[in-house]
Structures are given as C-alpha cells and as structure tokens.
Amino acid sequence: MPFQHTSIPDLIIFEPQVFTDSRGYFFESYNRLTWAETDKSPIFVQDNQARSVRGVLRGLHYQSGEMAQAKLVRVIEGEVLDVVVDLRKNSPAYGQWYSILLSAENKKQLFVPRGFAHGYIVLSETAEFFYKCDNYYSQKHEGGIRFDDHKLGINWQFDLSKVLVSDKDLALPNFGDHLPVE
C-alpha cells in the first residue's frame, strides 16, 4: 500500500509506485480508485502550482468554515520542507506540527486534511510546488499563523533571518491569536 499514516490523525504520506527505465520514469500521481482504499477519498476541484527560489517561505495558510480545504501536495522540481499545523480544536494533536521533505526526486506527497495550516520553504535553488484542493479558494475564508511563532517552535531547517516571506505572511497572527478551525 502506498500510504503511510503519520503521528497526527488523518495526515497521510502517499508514496507512489515509480516505474523507471532507460527512457526515464512514469508514475500515477493521483488515482481516485487508489485513494478510495483509504478512509479518505477526496474529490479535488482545483489544482495550484507555484515556482519559487531558495529561501522562499510560504505560509502558514488555511481556509476555514464551509470553504476549508484538504490538499494533496507534492514537488515537481526541486526540494521543499513542507510543514503543517493541526488547528482542529477537537483533535488530540491540536497545536502540533509535522514536517516532511518533499522533492522531485523522492516523489512523496502529503495529504493535508481540512483543519490544518500549511506552508513550505524552498531548500533547493528553485522549486515547483503543486497541490490539489478539495474546495475552491475563498479570500473571505482565508487565514494563517506566523511561521516563526515561538509557541509552535517549528524547525524549518533553514536560517530564518534569510527567508523570503511576503508582507502578508509577516502580518499573520501567532498561533494563540487565531481561531481554531472547525
């Protein structure tokens, strides 16, 4: 089975079977029937892709309420450290974070359920990040928390004095100042 469960409930690593030969490689990055084998069978409605340079940190973002999003994230080119924080008020892992190295080389994907803040930092010279969402983007429902909040203590495996972060992300509240996601 290509799925690994993490220490946080509902957070799943997907490692597809990769077929390689002298021409290169082939793999199914998503197959609804394969996902039906899990207790999660998302129906994705939107794909997003971003290209960034080394040291770009995006996040930690989420959408709440009726517009909450589950995501299946992966890296097409380069390498990132992907980080999620459980914001589900009733979760035994509320406030815990999890990180995983995602790269074009390892082809791992992370399923991020609704109710998580999500972000990543680019560790390679450039990276192309791709993700599928099970709900549409809604500016009205977007939220976020600071990537460098000391209460969370996230190890970004990068010198945070050298990160490139948007002004919008720098203005996000700390973990205790956001509303839990339902």
pTM listed for this prediction: 0.93
Tens digits of residue pLDDT in 108-165: 999 999 999 999 999 999 999 999 999 999 999 999 999 999 999 999 999 999 999 9
Nearest CA to 95 among 141, 151, 143?
A: 151
At residue 64, φ and ψ (nearest 5 deg) are -120, 175
Active site residue 61: yes
Q: How far apart (Å, rounded) are the C-alpha atoms in residues 39 and 96? A: 22
Q: Which of 131, 136, 141, 178 is catalytic?
A: 131
At residue 59, φ and ψ (nearest 5 deg) are 125, 180
Q: Which of 30, 61, 94, 141 is catalytic?
A: 61
Q: How confident is the model at residue 6 (pLDDT cuts 50, 70, 90)?
A: very high
Q: How far apart (Å, rounded) are the C-alpha atoms in residues 82 and 11? A: 13
Domains of the chain: 3-177 (2.60.120.10)
pLDDT of residue 179 exceeding 80:
no
pLDDT of residue 14 exceeding 90:
yes
Q: How far apart (Å, rounded) are the C-alpha atoms in residues 95 and 106? A: 28
Interval 11-22 mean pLDDT: 93
Q: How far apart (Å, rounded) are the C-alpha atoms in residues 113 and 28? A: 21
Q: For the chain, what is the radius of gyration of the CA atoms?
A: 16
Confidence (pLDDT) at 176: 80
